[in-house]
Every structure is written in structure tokens, then in C-alpha cells.
Structure 1
Amino acid sequence: MLQTLRPDPTFHPSPRLAMEAEVEHIAYTVLLSPDRSKPDALAVIDVDPESATYGKVIERLDMPYRGDEFHHFGWNACSSALSPMSGHAFLQRRYLIIPGIRSSRIYIVDTQPDPRKPKLVKTIEPEELLRKTGYSRPHTVHCGPEGIYISTLGGAGADGTQGPPGIAIMDCESFEIHGKWEIERGPQKLHYDFWWNLPRDYMVSSEWGLPPQFENGIVPEDLLANRYGHAVHFWSLRERKHLQTIDLGANHQMALEIRPAHDPTREYGFLGVVVDTTSLEGSIWTWYRENGSFHIKKTAVIPPEPADADRLPPLLKGFGAVPPLITDIDLSLDDRFLYVACWGTGELRQYDVTDPFNPVLAGSVRIGGIAQRAKHPNGRPVGGGPQMTEISRDGKRVYFTNSLYSSWDTQFYPDGVPGVQLMCRVGANGGIELDPSFYVDFGPDHAAHQIRLQGGDCSTDSFCYPSA
């Protein structure tokens, strides 16, 4: 086959050009077996409204093992490959890198030649990851100029607490693990999400907890004692060196998703905090760089909602309220709308963040929820609430699933969280509405987590050039 130096057409120099690209026709969603009785899987969903199989699972790739606990996954390559630092002329957005957060196993799935029929082509066993990095519990996958970056939540030892977790680097063509990314990690001891501004040469990372704090469910004693993560870290990307830590305050428990502005000229981004242990509220923070230093401000809060004790799980009965539990946030490619998944109250919020320091609520839908248990417009019930959120490149559709993590699902939703994938349509000037015709039912045996869209999406790509 003739190869040229032309990049993959799904790579885009700027966010604005990515928004003008062809819309997605299929979505990939990871499914997990909550009781680990079946293998986890990758589902292919038809999202073309002109198709006869719109909103249906058209293929499912079951994995060879059980107990992986699929969570976050990502592409081998994206628009960051257009960076001047990249040396991969023939790279394609072709492979999906799927980590098992519980097994520490990593699967490489090929989406070509037929994107509707992906194939498993390589399995990396946990022993290799641990031998080369000292890390376990791989979590978030990002494609960058150096290759594939994979954050981890555990170190060595059976319980993953021997040494701090960090970021592993994998070759984006051979899928060999090179080693740990950090050269000077500074005080970083916990890990969760990470992302960067490529031209400005810095990375931001966040914190959740160590494996004993999440694998068997939330540990109430640790939460009430403020022992989960509550800080953000800033790094030199090229030097792989820790620069600065900002502690949000110990009461701001579980600083999770990092969402930087997509336009690299904008040196700010957003962070979601799951819960404030003094008030049960969730919060959104805006971090920014000014005069060479990083700063962060709390810019939006979402209060808890009172609820009758008989509608609450044992974990919450004593509080008489449902915390919003902000478990995911996502930012549209034009940096205008921030979507906030409130998994506890069953609300997906849309904020206008044209002014990143003054988010304005622009839209909201209700589905599921611990106390409200709101049904879909088609009349069907939904367990859980809005969770992993993915926005189409053009910003007109917001897809989401409903499972957080199997052991946590059971604690907060004892009746179960059967996997579904839903979609909201976005108004031209804001506002969101659930699409009554889009309801993907994965059945009672699988929960659903992260979504990736064909050709890229808003939590995959990082861009090297500003929008005109």
C-alpha cells in the first residue's frame, strides 16, 4: 500500500476545524460485568439517525478474560500528532487502548479495516506494566506527541499501595510500554486524571484515592476523615517535572476530571470535585496560569437535594439528602459549554462558560437519580444517573452512560445500574433535551462506562494550533 506523509484526515490543527469535520456515525462504548461473571466488552453503536439500526448495538467484542473492570479508554493517536514534537508521519487514529482498572490488563483493539467490526490484536498483561513502570490499575488514556500516556491509580504490591501511582508511556505503533513518564514527581502521591496544553508545555493532573479506597466501594470512614484526593498538580510537559501543587482544602473530596480549554491560547481549564464533606455540595473549579504561576478558583457549586430516608441507600440515610456527586465534566470544542454529570441527583447540567470564571447554568435534564428516579422520555426507567459524558465535535449532541464503578454502583443504587447509553440534543444558543428516540439498552448483565466517537470527540483530542 502506498504511504504518504499526509496525516490522518481525522487529525485537525485547531478545535474550530475539528468542529467542521464530518459527524460521527458510530460510537464505541466499554461494557463491564458488575459481578465479574462474564467478560467485559466493547460495544459498537450506530449513531447515524438515517440508519435503520440507529441507536442499536451493531457489534460487541467480548474480551477473553473476566474481572477486568473496563473504565476509561482512548485512541492510540489524535490531533496531537500534528505537534512539531511528533515523529510519527504515518500515524492513524486506528487502535483503541482499553485498560482494565481492576485486573491491570491492557487490550489493544484494531478498528480497521471495518470500524463496525473491531478486533482484539494484542493483550498486555499486568506483570509487564508493573515490571516496566512499578504501576498498576491503569485508568485514563491520552494520545500525545511522545506516544500513548496512561495514568494509573496504584503502585506495586497486591493492594497497589507500594509506591505512588503515576503515568506510563506506551509506544503508539508497537504498543510496547516504555516506562514511567515522571522524572521529578515532587510531592504527588495520588493520581486520577491528567491533560495538557501542548504549545504552552504544561500538564495538569488530579487525585482520587488508592486501590483500597475504591476497589471494594467507597470507604465512609476515609471520606468523612477527608482522606481522598483534594489537590491538583501542575507539571512541565517536556521536562516531565512537577512544578506546583494547589490544595483545594481537605473537605473538597475527590478532585477528578481535568478539562483544559481546547484552544491552546487559552490558559485555563476546569476541574470537577465530587463532594464537599462539610455541605454535601459538588463544585466546579477554574484553574489558570498568570505570570508564570498556576491558580485555581471555585466558580460554581451544586447543592445537595433533600430526600426522604426511605428513598436513600444505607450510605446516605443519616444525611436526609442526596449529594449531586459530580463524577464527570466535559467541555465542548468551542470552549463554550461545560457539561456536568451529577450522578447522585440524576441531573446533567449545561453551563455557559464563555466567561470561565463565571459559569452560567444554561440547560439541564433529569434522568435516574438516587431519590428522583426520573424516567426516560420513552417511559423506561434508568438506574444510576448521568455519568461518563461525551460531546460530538460539532457540539450538537451529548452522549452519556450511567455507571460509575461496579462496587460504588451497588452502594448508591442497590437496585442495580443496568447499562444504558442516552443522548441529549443541544440548542443553537444553549439548552439541552433528551432525544426520545435514542435509548441504547445493553441488557441487565453489563454496566456501561466511557464512550468514544468515530473520528474523535471532545475528551480525546488536544490541539496544537489556535482557532481562527
Structure 2
Amino acid sequence: MLSCLGDKDGNAEGNGFLLLDSDFNVKGRWEKPGHSPQFGYDFWYQPRHETMISTSWGAPAAFTKGFNLEHVKDGLYGRHLFVYSWPGGELKQTLDLGNTGLIPLEIRFLHDPLKDTGYVGCALSSNMVRFFKTADGTWNHEVVISVPTLKVKNWILPEMPGLITDFLISLDDRFLYFVNWLHGDVRQYNIEDPAKPVLSGQVWVGGLLQKGNDVVYMTEDGKELQFDVPPIKGNRLRGGPQMIQLSLDGKRLYVTNSLFSAWDRQFYGQDLVKKGSHMLQIDADTRRGGLTVNPNFFVDFGAEPDGPSLAHEMRYPGGDCTSDIWI
């Protein structure tokens, strides 16, 4: 099943879900007629609860040209979750996340197939929103992690969101990891109580606020600060942490730094596009919590024979915590 973002002209009306057979021939639409979401992007399902929930990025005509805040006001970006019957394809409920859930991207249920809760990362609002089933069988949501918007100087706006672009949940459902693509940090939260995540690790691996850049953030007492981002194997880190993948034992978190070429160029300039992206490894403490950047691991996609390349998604061949769903 494929999630679609829009029609051939870049309008959001063309979104929905396509089913392919084992030979990759299109069989048709998955959702019932008249049950397409307003916007498309990611989805995740929990078979024992007979539910699939999808997220909403925006109209391709808007985001392919780079990000424009006016497009949010014009309604060209999403703020809803769409709750479907699984595998029936009937749209049962639409959750309006409001201003606390602008541009919801990646979505994950807990891996435990009995659990009826999960999270969605809302990029522009920089919030992690938990969704859950209520006693009457409908679904609700609440903000459980909020990344403060920072006051900055020498940037296009006076305030900078973290921009949560990716997150994942460890296979044992103990830890949640997410990135702030603009700020430049990767975070680890203990979610043994799903409603009350606890910050347990944080590292800085790029971002607009690293030392050596022009952009600085202002503290409440008026000080100008930047974050220290050490080079890896002699390489200054480009861009910000974007897509992540976790080893099956939960001990190694891999990070790439390209979001979307138009946005890469807009927010990080030609440096990231011309030099290409890279992949890093962050070691995770799975007992007490904590993150440490591995100083000996650096994959340079700018050095590819047909490069420079912009690396994005990562997958394990036998399945991983961002693809496996149990029944």
C-alpha cells in the first residue's frame, strides 16, 4: 500500500492510498470512494484494534517550492490525523490537532499489538502528540512533548522552531527518539509511561545554531548562544539531523541529514546540496538512558561516484522498528 501526496498538478485532491499486487501492478484505491484524506503523508496501522491512522503534510504545489509560512495560513499544509477502519478503508474519524499539531509527519503506534496508543511528530509546531483510544471506542490526542521555539538573530524569522521531521520507537517500546532538524539536536525519551515521556538523552549533531554559523539564539537574560558540535573524523557536520533508524538491539541510532532538496537548499544553503549529505552513528544507553555520538563513524555521501548525493531514509533488509507491525 502506497500513500499519495497529490495529483499531477500538485494539488492535494489527488491524495489517498494505492494498492499494488506482488508484481507491483496497481490494483486500485485502498480507501472507500469518498473517504480520501484532506492531505496525505505517513500511515501506521494496529490490526488488533482494526485501525489505521494517516498524517497530513501538505499540497505538493506548496512544499516542492520550499517552505512559505503564508502557505500555512492559506490552508496548504495539514494539521489533521485521519482514522480509518483496517483493513476496510472507511474513514471513521478526523482528529484536528489545531495549532499544536501543524504539519504532522511521521506516525507510529507502539509495537505491542495490544496497545491502543502511539505518537505523531508535528514538524512546524515542534510537538510530539500522543493519540489513544478512549472508553467509547473513539480516538483522542494530547501534546506530551513540546520543544520550545527559540528567539534568534540573523535568521529569516525572529523565532525558530525545532522542526521535528522524524522519530521512532524502539522495538521494546521503552524509548522514543526524535530529531530537531533546524535546532540540530537528537533526543531520547523514556516512554515506559506513554503519557509522560521523560528526557533521557540529547546530543547536538549539526543544525543552524551550531558554533561557526551566523545564527545565534537569545536566552531569557539576553545572552547570545550557540551549540558546540564537534567534527566527526575531521568533518564539520552539514545540515541538521533528519531521518533516523535504530538497530534491532536498540543500541545504535543512525542519522542522515537531508529532508527535501528544496528545503535543504532554502534552510542550509548550497553547502549541503553541493557537498552532499552524511550518515552518523549515535550510541544509545538502553539501561539508564543517554546518547553519545560515535566519533569513528562517518559515511560521506558527497564522495559517492555519482554524487554528491542527498541521503534520506534508512531500512534494515529483514525489517526494523520503522517498518515492522505485529498481528
What band does the TM-score fall into relative to the shorter chain?
A: 0.7 to 0.9
2:220 aligned residue: none
Q: Which residue of 2 aligns with 1:229?
A: 78
- Answer yes or no: is the 8 Å Cα contact 1:226–1:251 preserved in 2: no
Q: Please tell me whether Structure 1 or Structure 2 has the larger radius of gyration of its CA atoms.
A: 1
Compute the RMSD of aligned alpha carbons: 1.7
1:419 to 277, 280, 292: 277
- Give the secondary-structure state (helix, strand or coil) at the position aligned to 1:416: helix
CA contact (8 A) 2:12 2:58 kept: no
**1: CA distance between counterparts of 2:301 and 2:48?**
40
What is the rounded CA distance, in whole Å, between the counterparts of 1:386 and 1:202 in structure 2?
31
1:110 maps to what in 2? none
CA distance in 1, matches of 2:173, 2:12: 39
Q: 1:363 to 1:384 in 2, by over 3 A?
A: same
- Among 250, 253, 270, the alignment partner of 1:395 is 250
Residue matched to 1:269: 118
Residue 376 of structure 1: which of 231, 240, 245 is its match?
231
Counterpart contact for 2:15–2:36, Cα < 8 Å: no
Shift of 1:454: 2.9
Identity among equivalent positions (%) equals 36
User: Is 1:434 aligned with 2:290?
Assistant: no
AA of the residue aligned to 2:11: T
Q: Which of these residues, 180, 190, 197, is aligned with residue 29 of structure 2?
A: 180
What are the equivalent positions in structure 2 for 1:135-154 lying under 5 Å apart?
Answer: 149-154=1-6
- Name the structure 1 match of 2:198: 360
CA distance in structure 2 between the partners assigned to 1:307 and 1:446 by the alignment: 30
Question: 1:421 is matched by which residue type in structure 2?
Answer: M
Distance 1:185 1:369 in 2: 42
Paired residues for 1:184-203 under 5 Å = 184-186=33-35, 188-203=37-52
Q: C-alpha distance in 1, partners of 2:17/2:258?
A: 25
Q: Give the drift of 1:184.
A: 4.6
In structure 2, what is the equivalent of residue 36 of structure 1? none
Please state whether the residue corresponding to 2:102 is helix, strand or coil.
strand
**In 2, Cα distance between the equivalents of 1:251 and 1:345?**
18
User: What residue number does 1:346 align with?
Assistant: 184
Larger strand fraction of residues: 1
Runs of 4+ deviating beyond 4 Å? none
1:191 & 1:245 partners in 2: Cα distance?
Answer: 13
Shift of 1:332: 0.4
> In structure 1, how many angstroms separate the alpha carbons of the residues matched to 2:44 and 2:12?
25
| CA–CA separation in structure 1 for the residues paired with 2:34 and 2:59 | 17
Q: 3-state SS of the aligned residue for 1:333? A: coil
Contact 2:12 2:59 in 1 (8 A): no
Which amino acid letter does the alignment assign opposite residue 161 of structure 2? P
Normalising by structure 1, report the TM-score.
0.62
Distance 2:26 2:277 in 1: 32
Q: For 1:188 and 1:212, how far apart are their aligned partners in 2?
A: 17
Which AA in structure 1 matches 2:191?
Answer: V
**Alpha-carbon distance change, 163 to 415 in structure 1, aligned in 2, over 3 angstroms:** closer
- The 8 Å contact of residues 208 and 268 in structure 2, kept in 1 or not, is answered as yes
User: Is contact 2:16–2:36 with CA below 8 Å preserved after alignment?
Assistant: no
Aligned to 1:462: 325
User: Within 2, Cα distance between the matches of 1:340 and 1:238?
Assistant: 29
SS in 2 for 1:414: helix
Answer whether contact 2:66 2:262 (CA < 8 A) is retained.
yes
Amino acid at match of 1:463: W
Deviation at 1:308, TM superposition (A): 2.7
Distance 1:367 1:224 in 2: 32
Displacement of 1:179: 1.1
CA drift of 1:453 comes to 1.4
Letter in 2 for 1:215: T
Aligned partners of 2:175, 2:234: CA distance in 1, in Å? 28
**Cα offset, 1:351, TM superposition:** 0.8
In 1: Cα distance, 2:138 partner to 2:73 partner: 32
User: Is the CA contact 2:103–2:122 (under 8 Å) kept in the aligned structure 1?
Assistant: yes
Higher relative contact order, structure no. (Cα contacts within 8 Å, ≥ 6 residues apart): 1
* Unmatched segments (≥5 aa) in structure 1: 1-148, 277-281
Q: Choose from 286, 289, 302 the match for 2:133.
A: 289
Deviations 1:203-224 (A, max 9, x none): 0101010111111111231134
2:262 counterpart of 1:407: yes
Worse-superposed segment, 370-379 or 177-186: 370-379
Equivalent residue of 1:349, what SS?
A: strand
On the 8 A contact 2:12/2:38 being kept in 1, the answer is: no
Please give the TM-score of this superposition, normalised by the length of structure 2: 0.88
Q: CA deviation at 1:250?
A: 4.2
Q: Which runs of 5+ in 2 are unaligned?
A: 212-228
Look up the SS of the partner of 1:423 in the other structure.
strand
Alignment size in residue pairs: 301
**Counterpart amino acid of 1:336?**
R
Q: Is the 2:232–2:297 contact (alpha carbons within 8 Å) kept by the matching residues of 1?
A: no
2:315 to 428, 434, 452: 452
Cα offsets for 1:153-174 (capped at 9, x unmatched):
012x4x1327330111111x31
Q: 1:434 to 1:305 in 2, by over 3 A?
A: same
Distance 1:152 1:416 in 2: 31
**Take 1:439 and 1:201, find their aligned partners in 2: how far apart are those partners?**
42
Q: 2:16 aligns with which of 166, 182, 199?
A: 166
